[in-house]
Chains A and B, each alone.
Chain A
């Protein structure tokens, strides 16, 4: 009758990724990934293109099976459809011809997975309006989404993801293709959502800098391997060099971080190509 007491820190986690490995087309895309995200936490998923960020998201969404390890969402194993998770996918191409207003996209977040035609117009409209207010998108509620700017479209997609009241919000590169002003606005909006509604925000980006002011923790992906912790814990030459399998320098300039590949570092780490999956540490920020 000796039942081990559950580890409270694991139990409270909204997302618990434990030892995930993913093979795609005979290549190990993710290797033994493990980290936890607590409710209301703002977590960055940082890595260059092709590092495995989208694959990790697909695993968490239940769209991609992992060969080892487990994922618990809200303390439960993954299912095909997880109402706890809201998702903003990477660059949706929205044609100006698309007969969808911003409010239609948000409404689809409420019931787009259902059969039949929508009923209960008044209640639906009220929910959509208050969500549009929450992301500051009311003024272009009736515009075609295809005609909105990149930042405005991101707001609409965030409202789409939030209206089903998730506890974890996954955003795949929402800052890509945004100008600096829109980038700052979207980050501030997400930080506010995490803080005020205690929704855990998990956001992927290839540049760590726009997230620095608001990020609680980060998961750094390189060549399919990850390191997680606070910025100070992870963005260090030793940690990143071990991830990349190559010497990496971390420079801090005016409060910004630059991760730079060093050809042969003082630590004498030599570069070994891993399974053809080597993703060289390009300069993470050049701003």
Chain B
């Protein structure tokens, strides 16, 4: 047992402050992105979510240039971008996609500029990788309270809007007829999504943020049919992916090329994808079994085998 633990957790794993911080940040962010992301998936806003993450790279790199933590940059620009998408793409889904694409392009253009300035001013090449692909072990300890507070606020807003969001995701006509302020709820949701995506960008990078926002929720939707259950399961799947990713990244220090750990983000995103495939396989097996049971049941009755199966034992 001890040997298994030793094989799984490389020496020093539990003693490292950086690991502790990464575990806490990773878990909190995964819970938020899981809950928020379920609505991203069922409202068909995965593209908007992805765009908010990538656009965030412009803010993150600008914040770095100004000496602030990238999180504030990610979030500031993601919220602005969410507002622009809403303004440009009023109501019509197609106009919305075009608006999202336009905002995404403009944001990435800015990111190209700021990342170039970052690299020339600081003469460190690491910043580009950190902004775009994240480095969970490098999240500063001082950011912990802010990240936890933002996460709690996001979850609270989600809880307050939960039923209205669910009803307007089912049908905006139906919600409007019931007096739900559909537009306001939609905007509030975009802002929450911007915050969640920014938290994910801080954790696994601006470009990969979408993996945490869309992956675990899509997996959860395969596993559960209850709305509340989907939010919880998505959060837990996210936590599992992030924690396991942290463990593997820590272990990878001893993998080739020795002395350089592999990026955490790689492991997290790979695990998210594997979980999604595994959930698909699981539901496929369950469905096949149900179908087989359904097909064999009437045949038993027809052949006169009316006795309870347990009676023979």
Contact = CB atoms under 8 A, between A and B. Distances in A.
A174 to B, nearest CB: 13
A89 B173 contact: yes
B38 A115 contact: no
Interface residues of B, number: 33
Contacts of A87: 173-174, 177-178
A144 interface: yes
Given A92-B174, A99-B229, A113 B42 contact: no
A262 interface: no
A110 to B, nearest CB: 10
B266 to A, nearest CB: 27
Interface string B215-227: 0001011101111
Interface of chain B, main secondary structure = helix
Most buried by B among A87, A98, A115, A118: A98
B162 interface: yes
B229 to A, nearest CB: 7
Contacts of B125: none
Interface in B163-196: 163-164, 166-167, 169-171, 173-180
Given A92-B171, A104-B226, A81 B178 contact: yes
A113 B178 contact: yes
B178 A100 contact: no
Interface residues of A, number: 31
A143 B218 CA distance: 19
A100 B170 contact: yes
B42 A98 contact: yes
B163 A99 contact: no
B69 to A, nearest CB: 32
A97 interface: yes
A116 B162 contact: yes
A104 B231 CA distance: 15
Contacts of B162: 116-117
A112 B42 CA distance: 17
Shortest 5 CB-CB distances between A and B: which pairs? A81-B179, A112-B167, A99-B230, A89-B173, A113-B178
